[in-house]
Amino acid sequence: MLIKYFAWIKNITSCDQENLDSKKLKTIDDLKIHLNTKYPDLKKHIDKDTLRFAINQEYLSENKKIYKNDEIAIFPPVSGG
């Protein structure tokens, strides 16, 4: 699955997108645990629940299953307009 990062999250991940192995990651919660380990600086933001998640360009409000071909975006609160 493709994971996309926006705004200052890219500073923590050092990339704006990456492919992750979907075999072990069945849900958004699995993904959060995985990212907390891979990017320790992201942990406090994920724990504080300040980040937004979108699956295939739709906002997510609760844990959800994720699939091989999904595009998952992780970003801070938006600030356009």
Output the smallest distance, CB 42 to other proteins, in A.
15
Is residue 23 a contact residue for other proteins (CB under 8 A)?
Answer: no
Is residue 80 a contact residue for other proteins (CB under 8 A)?
Answer: yes
Strand spans (E) along the chain: 2-5, 17-19, 52-55, 58-59, 71-75
Nearer to other proteins, 31 or 53 (CB): 53
The residue count for the chain:
81
Interaction pattern, residues 41-60, with other proteins; x per rule: CB under 8 A? -------------x--xxx-
Nearer to other proteins, 37 or 56 (CB): 56
Closest to 16 (Cα-Cα) out of 26, 2, 29: 2
